[in-house]
Homo-oligomer: A and B are copies of this chain.
Amino acid sequence: MLNLDFHPSGRHFLQIPGPSPVPDRILRAMSLPTIDHRGPEFGALGLTLLAKLKQVFKTEGPVIIYPASGTGAWEAALANTLSPGDRVLMFETGHFATLWHTMARRLQLDPEFIGLPGYEGWRHGVRADMIEARLREDPAHEIKAVCVVHNETSTGVTSDIAAVRRAIDAAGHPALLLVDTISGLASADYRHDEWGVDVTISGSQKGLMLPPGISFNAVSERAIEASHHNRMPKSFWAWDEILEANQNGYWPYTPSTNLLYGLNESLDMLLEEGLDQVLARHQRWAAGVRQAVAAWGLEIQCQDPAVYSPVLTGVVMPEGVDADAVRKLIYERFDLSLGTGLGKAKGKMFRIGHLGDCNDLTLIATLGGCEAGMKLAGVPLAGSGVGAALDYFAHHPLDAIR
């Protein structure tokens, strides 16, 4: 029998950029007995959830909940709005943008992947001007959708989505705007309606602080209209039956009841604290972590301060240092999980998640583990990152920065 309680003493520090640690309050909610998903209490739960979710996505429109993980919500967004052979414009910001592009090809779409040359795209945000330029070259409107990642989890870059919408409008182009904010929602500022997004994709295991397993599509009227005519074979992901059943708080097939209990608790926690406060909390943590990286004399993966992610920070290792070896040492010696470098960034950097159920001292512990581990691995450090972050947190109380 596998022993899942493998840590001899103390709590493991899970500081990857998702799944994020699940608060006990949510775990307790998830341990309630599973109820009949066709009974009256369930309908009441469903209606409550769907109403509260809109506040977090900042939309007046519907939000679809899938009993499937975030990758499924990517597929749902494409399968409901596009048809085989459709041209789609996607922007390379990192590993997850790349995976989404691969998915589009597998779904028999015709995706065009633009971006900055080489590794540069992995260190900057979406360039709205490049999107605008490309759309202007499409007078026939063959491009049916623009797909961008809001918070690129592989690099720690949070792109400006409002600018992308402005670019599409400036080009006078009717393409739908599909946005992945799987790791951004409820940690980074996000506004589905105000930014004119047509489909927003998100998941449970990041800012919502749930285990993985459910995911979301927030949808505009234009997106729903497209779903009535597109020709992609679709059933599980199809919005129509879900939207209909949701009218009464139900789903057309068995929902993930216990994760929905957790979602209900998560939404209560976020709304009780206040979304603005939640976002300020993440910005402050990110600033403290960047102080640490600066004190170490290391580079941050994101090279444009305007789009630093409040959710995670990529720490670039000096030439010749294998970031994964450093991560492994930190994991084994300090019971701390950090995010690995993915795709083009493999071995070059590691990622510190600073999202969800954390506090200042959780991050001090995390930075302590990083600092001691890098020293043991022989990474030359300019100074104490832990000390710098401590000073930052001490002199920037959350109340003061709002």
User: Is B386 a contact partner of A361 (Cβ separation < 8 A)?
Assistant: no
Closest residue of chain B to A389 (Cβ to Cβ) is B368
Known: A384-B384, A391-B372. A257 touches B359 (CB 8 A): no
User: Is B2 a contact partner of A45 (Cβ separation < 8 A)?
Assistant: yes
User: Is B2 a contact partner of A21 (Cβ separation < 8 A)?
Assistant: no
Cα A362 to Cα B100 with chains together (Å): 38
> Across the interface, which residues of B come within 8 angstroms of A45, CB to CB?
2, 4
Q: Does A401 contact B (CB under 8 A)?
A: no
Quick check: which of A24-32, A127-135, A141-149, A156-164 contacts chain B, the rest being far away?
Answer: A24-32
Known: A19-B254, A68-B69. A386 touches B376 (CB 8 A): no
Chain A 343-371 per-residue mask, 1 if CB under 8 angstroms from chain B, else 0:
00000000000001111111011101101
Cα A368 to Cα B67 with chains together (Å): 35
Known: A34-B21, A281-B9, A372-B394. A233 touches B69 (CB 8 A): no
Closest residue of chain B to A369 (Cβ to Cβ) is B361
User: Is A38 a contact partner of B335 (Cβ separation < 8 A)?
Assistant: no
User: Is A21 a contact partner of B6 (Cβ separation < 8 A)?
Assistant: no
Q: Does A234 contact B (CB under 8 A)?
A: yes
User: Is B211 a contact partner of A258 (Cβ separation < 8 A)?
Assistant: yes
Closest residue of chain B to A390 (Cβ to Cβ) is B372
Closest residue of chain B to A337 (Cβ to Cβ) is B36
> Across the interface, which residues of B come within 8 angstroms of A391, CB to CB?
372, 375
User: Is A32 a contact partner of B19 (Cβ separation < 8 A)?
Assistant: no
Q: How far is the CB of A88 from chain B (nearest CB, A)?
A: 13
Return the contact of A213 from the options B25, B234, B256, B387 (Cβ within 8 A).
B256
Quick check: which of A102-110, A220-228, A301-309, A312-320 contacts chain B, the rest being far away?
Answer: A102-110
Cα A22 to Cα B258 with chains together (Å): 10
Known: A29-B4, A33-B11, A212-B257. A390 touches B368 (CB 8 A): yes
User: Is B70 a contact partner of A253 (Cβ separation < 8 A)?
Assistant: yes
Q: Does A57 contact B (CB under 8 A)?
A: no
> Across the interface, which residues of B come within 8 angstroms of A258, CB to CB?
22, 30, 211-213
Chain A interface residue number, banded: 35 or more
User: Is B9 a contact partner of A35 (Cβ separation < 8 A)?
Assistant: no
Closest residue of chain B to A261 (Cβ to Cβ) is B4
Cα A8 to Cα B232 with chains together (Å): 44
Q: Does A84 contact B (CB under 8 A)?
A: yes
Binding site for B on A (CB under 8 A): 1-2, 4-14, 16, 18-22, 24-25, 27-39, 41, 44-45, 48, 66-72, 74-75, 79, 84, 102-103, 106-108, 203, 205, 211-214, 232-236, 238, 252-259, 261, 264, 268, 273, 277, 281, 331, 333-337, 340, 356-362, 364-366, 368-369, 371-373, 375-376, 384, 386-387, 390-391, 393-394, 397
CB pairs A–B below 8 angstroms (23 shown): A5-B32, A7-B359, A10-B359, A14-B34, A24-B32, A28-B28, A34-B211, A39-B337, A67-B68, A67-B213, A68-B68, A68-B72, A72-B236, A211-B256, A211-B258, A212-B255, A212-B256, A213-B256, A333-B394, A362-B365, A364-B368, A368-B386, A373-B394
Q: Other CB < 8 Å A-B pairs besides A4-B29, A79-B233, A365-B368, 6 of them? A: A14-B34, A14-B36, A19-B34, A30-B258, A70-B254, A71-B252
